[in-house]
């Protein structure tokens, strides 16, 4: 049955979408570290008859550099399988004739090389991390407040993520800061935007009920996927907190210790 | 009549509360600069039969240093007439047995010298300006997210203010950032908190309808005062923007070019 619960729903799946940070690896100094069992789990999924894509709100590097890092960590992943927000944002800019002021990580800047940034008429905020200085946030604020119709794009809306040395504030926090400062609502590009999930489903050529999303972020991964009609499973790695399992509005279809356990449960349901 | 409109309401006033930054002076390098006519306007109010207090969300310096600056700018103001959020916050900490982690401006730290800050069980955020680094915001976030019952105090909730070199983000923006990061609601100490306005009225021994608030911030000065039953007049200096005069929910009782004009109108209504 297409709509049976987890893990029995795995029988009828045609594809899986994985979040990256907190599911495959924990970010941190250098390349970060792979989460135990996750390299093997990705390998097993690739060898299965399931389609596999990676959907991430990662905005600290270009897609190429980011995938190179994952490959150094030992993951067999290629650029065309990975969907981050920046390329989607660039498509929106072109479509609407917008020129961005960028408050993003230095590592992401090359992604915007071909984009006209003169005389900006919108602001794009990504996970700028250390670049979220008072001065830089002020600068983005002044661009917005100076526009007759201020437009703010946020590459994701995460609250925080886990690095090897602890929890770090994510882009959503600074999105909220600018929303409040300018009394506006940002347009989110990335998870949990339905448009963003749909672009991944389109690439797979699958319907939502045929696909399972696995992530560590209850709201953006699990809730976002469920909102699109997919199943959503949360891993107890990355930014997972026990309180997630008692969330008032979002309930994961399943909660597993880690990706390795999720993949073993999926494949065992499918008789592997 | 006590409840007649501006400026005729000035006839029955017994007291005036003034905001400071953006009304008396514009902050900026050094001491900032006095707004033309404001030194004389304060003098005229002091010489009148009206009671006068200053109610500010200023949190970049101790009350003593702040008043010393105002006196250097030429204003005849004493410490006991000025009501900023920090002393009110310290009273709340004592009352509730709380030990703060401080994300405030270096200039405000001496105000908290006698306060136990070991093993913090709450966070106080003030207008930390350049100290609003990614690292410092992360640190405050980690304290909050580590508490079983996180408590966040915000010294005001302003969006931005004007310095001589342009608009600057205010504490409210970082309050919203931490609220979102930790999924909580901050307790605001300072304008527009009714408790805070009431403490000034208590000091004057006056009823709200006997007092007029004059400020440059439509929401925190004017709206806050009106919410307490006072009249609220906005000046077209400081952070004032023309769009304020078309605000959907807050309408000032009067809008004047500057403090000098407001005071002349008040005193002329009173037959001076």
CB B116 within 8 A of CB B86: no
Write the CB contacts of B178 (distance below 8 Å, at least 6 apart in sequence): A173, B123, B125, B137, B140, B141, B144, B152, B184, B186
- Confidence at B162, pLDDT banded by 50, 70, 90: confident
Q: Distance from first CA to last CA of chain A, Å, rounded?
A: 19
pLDDT of the residue at A26 = 92
CB B137 within 8 A of CB B115: no
Q: Which of A:174-233 have CB within 8 Å of B?
A: 174, 176-183
Averaged pLDDT for residues B95-103: 97
Interface test with B, best of A169, A174, A179 (most B CBs within 10 A): A169
Q: Which pairs with CB-CB distance under 8 Å and at least 24 residues apart come from A232-237?
A: A233/A6, A233/A262, A235/A22, A235/A23, A235/A259, A235/A262, A237/A22, A237/A23, A237/A26, A237/A35
Judged by CB atoms closer than 8 Å, whether chains meet at A180 and B168 is answered as: no
Specify the residue for token string 């930014």. A239
Q: Could you tell me the pTM of the whole model?
A: 0.85
- Whether residue B27 has pLDDT greater than 90: no
Judged by CB atoms closer than 8 Å, whether chains meet at B141 and A169 is answered as: yes
Name the minimum distance, in Å, from the CA of A128 to any CA of chain B: 9
Position with higher pLDDT, B271 vs B151:
B151
Judged by CB atoms closer than 8 Å, whether chains meet at A169 and B180 is answered as: no
Nearest Cα neighbor of B170 from A131, A48, A137 is A137
pLDDT of the residue at B240 = 93
> pLDDT, tens digit, for every residue of A40-55?
999 999 999 999 999 9
pLDDT of the residue at B28 = 80
Q: Which residues of A touch B132 (CB under 8 A)?
A: 133-134, 137
pLDDT of the residue at A3 = 52
In this prediction, the answer to ipTM > 0.95 reads no
- Whether residue B272 has pLDDT greater than 80: no
- B141 vs A137, A160, A180: nearest CB: A160
Judged by CB atoms closer than 8 Å, whether chains meet at B137 and A179 is answered as: no
- Confidence at B247, pLDDT banded by 50, 70, 90: very high
Q: Does A130 touch chain B (CB under 8 A)?
A: yes
Sort residue B78 into left (φ over 0), alpha (ψ -120 to 50) or beta: beta
B206: phi then psi, degrees, rounded to nearest 5: -120, 160
Name the minimum distance, in Å, from the CA of A203 to any CA of chain B: 32
Q: Does B134 touch chain A (CB under 8 A)?
A: yes
Say how far apart CA B222 and CA B236 lie, in whole Å. 13
pLDDT of the residue at A1 = 44
- B173 vs A129, A142, A181: nearest CB: A181
Say how far apart CA B155 and CA B172 lie, in whole Å. 8
Q: Which residues of A touch B173 (CB under 8 A)?
A: 137, 141, 177-178, 180-181
Name the minimum distance, in Å, from the CA of A142 to any CA of chain B: 7
Specify the residue for token string 């290629």. A78
Closest-CA residue of chain B to A169: B138
Averaged pLDDT for residues B133-145: 98
pLDDT of the residue at B165 = 83
Q: How many CA atoms are closer than 13 Å to the CA of B256, on its beta-carbon side? A: 21
> pLDDT, tens digit, for every residue of B186-225?
999 999 999 999 999 999 999 999 999 999 999 999 999 9
For chains A and B, what is the number of CB pairs under 8 angstroms? Answer: 83
What are the residue ranges in chain A where pLDDT is below 50? 1-2
Interface test with A, best of B144, B173, B174, B223 (most A CBs within 10 A): B173
| Cα–Cα–Cα angle for A103, A105, A106, rounded to 5 degrees | 110
Judged by CB atoms closer than 8 Å, whether chains meet at B159 and A181 is answered as: yes
- Confidence at B1, pLDDT banded by 50, 70, 90: very low
Q: Does A1 touch chain B (CB under 8 A)?
A: no
**Other CB atoms within 10 Å distance of the CB of residue B113:** 8
- A176 vs B129, B138, B176: nearest CB: B176
- Confidence at B3, pLDDT banded by 50, 70, 90: low
Nearest Cα neighbor of B3 from B143, B163, B210, B145 is B210
Judged by CB atoms closer than 8 Å, whether chains meet at B177 and A179 is answered as: no
Say how far apart CA B242 and CA B215 lie, in whole Å. 15
Closest-CA residue of chain A to B243: A148
Q: Does A169 touch chain B (CB under 8 A)?
A: yes
Q: Does B135 touch chain A (CB under 8 A)?
A: yes
């Amino acid at each position: 049955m297409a709509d049976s619960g987890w893990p029995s729903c795995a029988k009828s799946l045609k594809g899986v979408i994985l979040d990256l940070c907190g599911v495959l690896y924990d970010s941190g100094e250098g390349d970060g570290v792979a989460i135990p069992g996750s390299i093997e789990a990705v390998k097993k999924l690739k060898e299965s008859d399931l389609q596999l894509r990676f959907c991430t709100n990662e905005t600290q590097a270009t897609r190429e550099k980011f995938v190179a890092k994952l490959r150094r960590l030992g993951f067999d992943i290629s650029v065309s399988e990975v969907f981050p927000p920046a390329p989607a944002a660039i498509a929106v800019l072109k479509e609407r004739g917008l020129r961005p002021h960028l408050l993003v990580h230095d590592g992401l800047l090359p992604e915007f090389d071909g984009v006209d940034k003169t005389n900006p008429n919108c602001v794009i905020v990504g996970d700028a991390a250390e670049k979220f200085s008072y001065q830089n946030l002020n600068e983005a604020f002044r661009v917005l407040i100076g526009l007759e119709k201020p437009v703010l794009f946020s590459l994701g809306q995460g609250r925080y993520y886990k690095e090897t040395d602890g929890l770090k504030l994510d882009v959503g926090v600074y999105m909220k800061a600018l929303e409040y400062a300018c009394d506006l609502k940002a347009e989110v590009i990335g998870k949990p935007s339905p448009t963003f999930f749909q672009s991944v489903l389109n690439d797979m050529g699958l319907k939502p009920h045929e696909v399972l999303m696995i992530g560590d972020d209850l709201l953006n991964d699990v809730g976002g996927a469920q909102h699109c009609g997919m199943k959503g499973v949360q891993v107890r790695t990355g930014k997972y907190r026990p309180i997630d399992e008692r969330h008032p509005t979002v309930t994961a279809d399943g909660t597993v210790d880690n990706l390795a356990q999720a993949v073993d449960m999926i494949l065992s349901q499918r008789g592997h």
